[in-house]
Structure 1
Amino acid sequence: MNEDHWLRDTRISYDTVAISYADRMREALAGEPYLRAALAVFADLVHGAGGGPVADVGCGPGHVTAYLRELGVDAFGVDLSPTMIDVARRDHPRLRFEVGSMTDLDLPEASVAGLLAFWSLIHIPDEAVPTVFGHFHRALRPGGPLMLGFHVGDESRLKTRGYGGHPMNVHVHRRRPEQLAARLVDAGFTVEAHMLLDLDESVPGAVLFARRQS
């Protein structure tokens, strides 16, 4: 698949659903105690590493960015969709949000104390994952924590409709924790832990914690 093609489709799809998606996700964390606990662990890791700016890459409407700020983390958001960034700035006017792609992450080397990709890797095809992890490694400070959230599985599917019934054209990739862990090791990370979520659901989730090697 041509990279420009899938990136364009992802951007257009989330521009289309941005307002409906934000409405759906605004209170989503309130009903997810395990995800809130995972974010609290991530915040503790950031503080333990000395603190500093933290990038929420693929931030969408900014609800997780804002939650991290409530935990005392100096978080800012980056997203491919300009409309998502507009919504994030509208809903969280005191926070920093900018348009950008994790496939070409415009952050200086070793500039962030932590990095989060919260269910935003799910639209990245397998062949682009090493590039993305390379950018994550470059942007993180040595010893900085990384947290990934993703769908668990062995398949990809094309999503043609979502959030408010709007048309979409994105592939959703499900992956095993051990697969992403191996890719992280190849990219220069130490994988420290992972947790599985919603094991009785048709599509479970997972959270993986890693750290850039010093």
Structure 2
Amino acid sequence: MAERITGLYRAIRLPAVYKGLMSVLGADNAIRRYVSEVLEPAPGITMLDVGCGPANVLAYLPELDYTGIDHNEGHIAFARQRYDGRGRFIVGSADQLEQSGESFDLINVSAILHHLDDDLFKSLKSLLNEGGRITTIDNVWLPGQRAVVKLINNLDSGMNIRTPEGYLSLMSGLGYNIQARIFHDLLRVPYDHFVMVARSNPAPSS
């Protein structure tokens, strides 16, 4: 992990503080748009939410087979209490599931790539069903970016915010067909989000 976790950053890791901050920023509208325009989850599918936090996205999903996984024990405890019966919540990381034989139709990686300095997508590929999708959303560095967005990025607890090319390089060589999109208006404050939707290329016919 590449993130700041001391001082005020430690407070943000508390579920109540995190949810309060997200509410002020207008995250409810952002999540709603992300679900409808990017995730597009069909009822009944299997979904893995990597870095799920307190599982805020679950309130906007149809009935499906949901698994959320996160390192933060407090967030997972909050999700289990709030969404008991709606899904499965695991403390840990996605690579723990590689040996389980599980697979998913949709894998969501929401706002955690800029906290990571390791290779996540190799392990996720083995968890993705044929025809499935991996979706990601993170803040991003852009040419000519607004000053206030640069300031917010510099204050972020994640220390690996990347350019669009940097995020795309995380999936290079893994056989994904990737569509990318940039949002500038998901939050109440000026902010830029970079979104990727990745599908595995079909294996060549013999």
Letter in 1 for 2:22: M
- Correspondence for 1:165: none
- Is structure 2 residue 178 aligned with structure 1 residue 191? yes
Is the 2:114–2:139 contact (alpha carbons within 8 Å) kept by the matching residues of 1?
Answer: yes
Is 2:88 the counterpart of 1:91? no
Do structure 1's residue 20 and structure 2's residue 21 form an aligned pair? no
Deviation at 1:112, TM superposition (A): 0.7
| TM-score of the aligned structures, taking structure 2 as reference length | 0.73
Cα distance, 1:122 vs structure 2: 1.9
1:172 corresponds to:
159
SS of match in other structure, 1:185: coil
Which residue of the partner structure matches residue 144 of structure 1? 132
Name structure 2 gaps, 5 residues minimum.
Answer: 143-149
Quote the RMSD (CA, aligned, Å).
3.4
Q: What letter is aligned with 1:91?
A: R
| Percent of aligned positions that are identical | 25
Equivalent positions of 1:1-214 (< 5 A) are 13=10, 16-25=13-22, 28-32=26-30, 35-44=31-40, 46-47=41-42, 52-68=45-61, 71-95=62-86, 96-102=88-94, 104-107=95-98, 108-109=100-101, 111-125=103-117, 128=118, 131-153=119-141, 157=154, 170-198=157-185, 203-214=191-202
SS in 1 for 2:159: strand
In the superposition, relative to structure 1, how do residues 199 and 177 fare at CA in structure 2: closer, same or farther (>3 Å)?
farther
The amino acid of 2:51's aligned partner reads G
Asked if 2 retains the 8 angstrom alpha-carbon contact of 1:123 and 1:171, the reply is yes
Contact 1:110 / 1:142 at 8 angstroms: preserved in 2? no
Letter aligned with residue 141 of structure 1: N
Q: Report if the CA contact (8 A) 2:184-2:190 is conserved.
A: no
For 1:123-146, what per-residue CA distance to the aligned partner results, in whole angstroms no more than 9, with x for missing partners? Answer: 112xx1xx2011111111122111
TM-score by length of 1: 0.71
More helix, by proportion: 1
Aligned residue-pair number:
187
Compute the displacement of 1:97 (Å).
0.9
